[in-house]
Amino acid sequence: MHTDSLIPAARPTLSTILWRLSWPFFLFSFLFAALMAVSWTFLLPRYTLIDVGGTLRDAAQIRAYRSELGTQIAEKEERRRQLVLAVHDPQYETLKQQRRERVSLDELRKALSDHATKITGKEDRVRWSSFDYDPNAKTLHMRGYVGNVETRSMTVLAEFSQSLKSLPFVASATTPSFSREEDPKTGFHSPFDITLSLR
């Protein structure tokens, strides 16, 4: 019987085990990294394209598209907020100021009626048939006639038309044509057609 067979084999040390495992692990890591790089460069872009808005996009393009959409949505929401809450819009304040400064048709009619009464001495001597008011163009086109003054209707009309230019809200006034007509109901009267340019 040989005594050599009874001697136990020496156990490998930890450093020896790690040294023997390092090369297979390094080779596996290298091959795995190479495969990942190849798939990331060539395979993933080919098989991970997504149709967004009718265009095929990869992950980076989708992120950029999402950021662009977010910006557009924020702009649209701000625009909608301005439309819904127009009271905070400077343009709305400007419109309100313009409306406050604009003279209404009722105010113009009252001022002209009071002025006609003051000039002619009676309320019924200047009669209005129509008013065409354009606040944007700042014009007032008025039609009517001067009556109840017997044969002096042309004289009173001339005095009235000239006096319109002295009103504070009138920039200019056209001169009407002067004529005298006779009607069985109204008697002698002078029709007028005058356009006022307002301040």
How do residues 146-164 score in pLDDT, each as one tens digit? 998 888 899 999 999 999 9
Min mean pLDDT across 13-22, 68-77, 78-87, 122-131 is at 78-87
User: CB of 58 within 8 A of CB of 66?
Assistant: no
Q: Which residue has the higher pLDDT, 7 or 110?
A: 110
HSE value, Cβ hemisphere, 13 Å, CA-based, for 107 = 8
1: confidence class by pLDDT, cuts 50, 70, 90: very low
Nearest-5° angle of CA 25, CA 26, CA 29? 85
Q: Is the pLDDT of residue 4 over 70?
A: no
**Averaged pLDDT, 165-172:** 92
Place of tokens 């000239």: 162
- Measured in degrees and rounded to the nearest 5, phi and psi for residue 27 equal -65, -40
Going 168 to 169 to 174 to 179, the CA torsion angle's sign is negative
Model confidence at 133: pLDDT above 90:
yes
How far apart CA 33 and CA 26 sit, in angstroms, is 10
The backbone torsions φ and ψ at residue 147, rounded to the nearest 5 degrees and listed phi first, read -145, -175
C-alpha distances out from residue 163 to 34, 106, 126, 142, 156, Å? 99, 20, 13, 15, 11
Q: Is the pTM of this model over 0.75?
A: no
Report DSSP letters for 49-88, one per residue: -EEETTEEE-HHHHHHHHHHHHHHHHHHHHHHHHHHTGGG
Mean local confidence (pLDDT), 160-177: 92
- 118 close to 154: Cβ distance less than 8 angstroms: no
Predicted confidence (pLDDT) at residue 144 exceeds the cutoff of 80:
yes
Q: State the chain's mean pLDDT as an integer.
A: 85
pLDDT per residue as tens digits for the range 26-78: 889 999 999 888 887 877 777 777 777 778 887 778 888 889 999 999 999 98
Query: How do residues 69-113 score in pLDDT, each as one tens digit?
Result: 999 999 999 888 877 766 666 777 777 777 777 778 888 999 999
Q: Give CA–CA dist 12/18, Å, rounded.
A: 10
How is residue 93 written in tokens? Answer: 């304040």
Q: What share of the chain is helix, strand, coil (3-state, %, to 5)?
A: 55, 20, 25
Q: Which whole-number Å values give the CA distances from 103 to 37, 75, 87, 99, in the listed order?
A: 77, 37, 22, 8
